[in-house]
Structure 1
Amino acid sequence: MSDHRDQSPTPGPAEAPARGRGGVLAAVRETVLVVAVALVVSLVVKTFLLQAFYIPSQSMETTLDIGDRVVVSKLTPGPFELHRGDVVVFLDPGGWLPPAAEPDRGPVGSVVADVLTFVGLLPEDSGEHLIKRVIGLPGDRVECCDAQGRISVNGTPVEESAYVIEGAVPSQVPFSVTVPAGELWVMGDNRPESADSRYNQDKPHGGFVPLENVVGRAYVVVWPLSHLAWLGTPSTFDDVPGEAGVE
């Protein structure tokens, strides 16, 4: 009696490799797609929302130390108001920074670093950027110092011990300025070591920072983890008359 049970043919030796090649190609396509989407999302986030920056100097100690990485919100100023006391990253208004020395990464390393920085996967270096604290908004009268050695804004003395480095005076040099429309007066928290608005009054914009140069407000230290901290707006300027913020 013949056996009519259905028997599936055994795959030939050529079929398994073909199936394997197809699986590898599918995996490669999926990986490329995931990486491409991740890069696009990262680029969109960096362009419109957030950007990381590296702290290269001691001018903001002890709020920010050399080597800290901060995340900057690009929605301030803009949808959210910028306030006195906020820490901001801004493009050099002209002549504040010396020419930056390019790190020697080699041709391939430089290209890779530039691409990763462009898409936001590496923090921006300090070649064209500075980070300081906003002391005066457009229209503010900022002066130093009163009989107690304090800075005053619109005639109101402010107590800056919440952020100025311990042992430092508010300013080693006297000044009295009115902030023009569309610009800011900024100072570093490490006052003796900060070449800020006070020391750039002979440069373009007279030491002021155009709002259009502001990249955004630094709102959190993310690295190293031991320095993890929120960079909120201090209450220092709560009693200062005038507009509290600027968009």
Structure 2
Amino acid sequence: MTQLEPRDPRRSRGSAVSAEGGEPDRGIRWLRNIGLTVAVAVVLAAVLRALVGPVYLIPSGSMEPTLMPGDRVRVNTSHEQGQGLDRGDVVVFDGAGSLAPYRSRTSLDRALEDLVVWWGLGARSDVYVKRVVALPGDTVRCCGDDGRLEVDGVPVDEPYLGRAVDAGHPASSTQFEFSVPEGRMVVLGDNRSDSLDSRALLGAPGGGLIGLDTVVGTAEDVVWPLGRRGALDGPAASAGEGAR
């Protein structure tokens, strides 16, 4: 009769399974690797944010051809609340209550959304990126006889539109005129035919004027994708002599 060998008390059942199939060990290693990858990603995101500042994802084509969907832009927060803005700046602002309705969000919702935005992996539904075309004291209208915007009666060149502007192809198909009071600005998307901006609020409370206190900062350059990396043009909306 075959005799059974005595069980080694130092061997656990778990180690026997692990030795034969290796599944528990592989699972533990897999979880450990995932955790390490996430930790490295968090550290790299923190370093990137510390070095270059906040990064925002462009979710739509409203700023084409300047910014394309999927671009990630670095934001200069020194212009927060509209400090030192110039006409032609590309501005990031909170559109809640103007272009977007106010939303009721739980603390968890806000935390998760902030984390996604912080990593540059997503975009807030109530944060917008547009071009500043008028600031306090300006009167801006569209359009002049030559199809261009006019600020204080002076035609404005807008090379960032990436197309010809003339009487037959005006800077905006929607006619408007804004006299901008203190603490307000007028913003338009570079893709004038497909942009939700100040023109969408004509006749609404506030009349399309966006509060300077909603400004998060200005978009300075594209940091991703690598093929589109580069600084955005500075204040590019230029007007003739006599303009503010």
User: Which among 151, 154, 157 is matched to residue 156 of structure 1?
Assistant: 154
Relative to structure 1, is the Cα distance of residues 42 and 150 closer, same or farther in structure 2, using a 3 angstrom cutoff? same
Aligned 8 A contact 1:71 1:220 in 2: yes
Partner of 1:67: 70
1:233 Cα offset (Å): 1.5
Tell me how many residue pairs correspond in the alignment: 199
Q: Secondary structure at the match of 2:207?
A: helix
Tell me what 1:200 maps to: 201
Give me the TM-score of the superposition, normalised by structure 1: 0.68
Contact 1:93 1:209 in 2 (8 A): no
Alignment of 1:36-75 (within 5 A): 45=50, 50-75=53-78
Which of residues 121, 125, 128 is equivalent to 1:127?
Answer: 125
Corresponding residue for residue 89 of structure 1: 92
One-letter amino acid of the counterpart of residue 70, structure 2: G
Query: What is the DSSP-based 3-state SS (H/G/I as helix, E as strand, rest coil) of the residue aligned with 1:58?
Result: coil
Distance 2:232 2:199 in 1: 23
Deviation at 1:128, TM superposition (A): 1.2
Task: Answer yes or no: is the 8 Å Cα contact 2:57–2:120 preserved in 1.
Answer: no
Which residue, 142, 166, 173 being the options, matches 2:163? 166
Amino acid across the alignment from 1:237: S
2:141 paired residue number: 143
Matches within 5 A, 1:105-124: 114=113, 116-117=115-116, 120-123=118-121
Shift of 1:177: 1.2
Provide structure 2 residue ranges, at least 5 long, that are not aligned to the other structure.
1-35, 104-108
* Aligned CA distance change for structure 1 residues 235 and 88 (closer, same or farther; 3 Å): closer
Partners of 2:113 and 2:124 lie apart in 1 by 14
- For residues 224 and 44 of structure 1, the distance between their equivalents in structure 2, rounded to whole angstroms, comes to 16
1:213-232 equivalences in 2 (<5 Å): 213-232=214-233
Looking at structure 2, the residues matched to 94 and 52 of structure 1 have their Cα atoms a distance apart, in angstroms, of: 23
Q: Percent identity?
A: 38
C-alpha contact 2:71 2:222 (8 A) present in aligned 1: yes
**8 Å contact 2:96–2:102 — kept in the other structure?**
no
Paired with 2:56 and 2:201, the residues of 1 have a C-alpha distance of 23
Which letter maps to 1:177?
F
Provide closer, same or farther for how the CA distance between residues 202 and 228 of structure 1 changes in structure 2, counting only shifts above 3 A. Answer: same
CA offsets per residue over residues 68-116 of structure 1, 9 Å max, x none? 111111101479621100000111152523799xxxxxxxxx8995463
Question: Which one-letter code corresponds to 2:187 in the other structure?
Answer: V
Deviation per CA, 1:39-74: give whole Å up to 9, x if none: 99669959xx83111111111001001111111111
Separation of aligned partners in 2, 1:79 and 1:155:
24
State the alpha-carbon separation in 2 of the partners of residues 79 and 94 from structure 1. Answer: 17
Looking at structure 2, the residues matched to 206 and 112 of structure 1 have their Cα atoms a distance apart, in angstroms, of 32
Alpha-carbon distance in structure 2 between the residues aligned to 1:83 and 1:163: 15
Structure 1 segments unaligned to the other structure (5+ residues):
1-30, 101-109
What code does the residue aligned with 2:147 have?
Answer: G
Residue 232 of structure 1 and its aligned partner are, at CA, apart by 2.6
TM-score (norm 2): 0.69
| 8 Å CA contact 2:136, 2:181 repeated in 1 | yes
Coordinate RMSD, CA, aligned: 3.6
Larger mean CA deviation between 172-181 and 203-212 belongs to 203-212
How has the CA–CA distance of structure 1 residues 173 and 79 changed in structure 2, closer, same or farther, with 3 Å as cutoff? closer
Report SS of the residue matched to 2:93. strand
Instruction: Report the Cα distance in structure 1 between the residues aligned to 2:226 and 2:63, rounded to whole angstroms.
Output: 18
